[in-house]
């Protein structure tokens, strides 16, 4: 699986993307947080805006580039694990980045882990990377727009139908990349996000990844892209 030339190629690709992710986490999301505070959003609500900024501009943007730029899944997976450790350490040291982290949960750590896991596992079923990328896009863009819609209206984290509708629409558009299978996965991803039984940063990618794997493996005609 691991070819040295591919490995080195992927490392060079990853360096600027890794710095982009850090830039979004450290600078852009903080700017969004400060802007929300100036607009009289409560600190907890402003933090939520910061988190969703990272979802969209860091996770989503880089995931879209995976099928275009990468040869193998190892470097993206390792990068995600490094970011998981990076986001966990402030919790460990009790020195949180308050513009995107909250003391009550470590969901951003789960987010990073699942990002890498989905890329890694998905690649074994689809060497174009898309099967593993689609669940990440559901989590990044779908869940991202969900949080923004709810936060604008309610100024707090809440599972409201307006956000779920926004996520469903975005996920359907994303799911078209894998045909009927992608649309079905989008439905399950939206349901998983609406449920509060488990962190949606875990449930959304797991549910949609399993759905896509099953449908592509047993009903490959359903996974034919619409574009």
- How many domains would you assign to the chain? 1
pLDDT of residue 160: 73
Whole domain around residue 21: which residue ranges?
4-223
- 189-208 per-position pLDDT tens digit: 999 988 877 888 999 999 99
Write down the pTM of the prediction. 0.94
11 CB-side CA count, 13 A: 7
Neighbour-count burial of 227, counting CB atoms closer than 10 A to its CB (0-12 exposed, 13-18 middle, 19+ buried) = exposed
Look up tokens 């943007």; give the residue. 61
pLDDT of residue 1: 53
Neighbours of 134 (CB within 10 A): 30
Percent of the chain scoring above 70 in pLDDT: 99
């Amino acid at each position: 699986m691991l070819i040295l030339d591919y490995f080195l190629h992927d490392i060079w690709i990853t360096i600027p993307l890794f710095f982009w992710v850090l830039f979004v986490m450290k600078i852009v999301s903080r700017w969004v947080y400060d802007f929300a505070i100036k607009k009289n959003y409560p600190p907890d609500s402003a933090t939520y805006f910061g988190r969703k900024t990272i979802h969209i501009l860091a996770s989503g943007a880089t995931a879209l580039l995976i099928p275009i730029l990468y040869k193998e899944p190892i470097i993206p997976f390792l990068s995600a694990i490094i970011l998981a450790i990076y986001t966990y350490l402030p919790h460990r040291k009790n020195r949180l980045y308050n513009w995107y982290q909250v003391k009550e949960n470590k969901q951003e750590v789960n987010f990073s882990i699942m990002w890498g896991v989905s890329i890694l596992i998905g690649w074994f079923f689809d060497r174009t990377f898309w099967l593993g990328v689609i669940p990440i896009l559901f989590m990044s863009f779908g869940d991202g727009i969900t949080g923004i819609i709810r936060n604008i209206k309610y100024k707090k984290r809440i599972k409201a139908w307006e956000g779920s509708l926004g996520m469903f629409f975005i996920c359907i558009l994303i799911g078209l990349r894998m045909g009927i299978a992608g649309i079905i996965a989008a439905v399950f991803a939206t349901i998983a996000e609406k449920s509060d039984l488990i962190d949606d940063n875990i449930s959304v990618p797991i549910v949609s990844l399993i759905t896509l794997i099953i449908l592509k493996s047993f009903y490959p005609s359903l996974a034919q892209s619409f574009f």
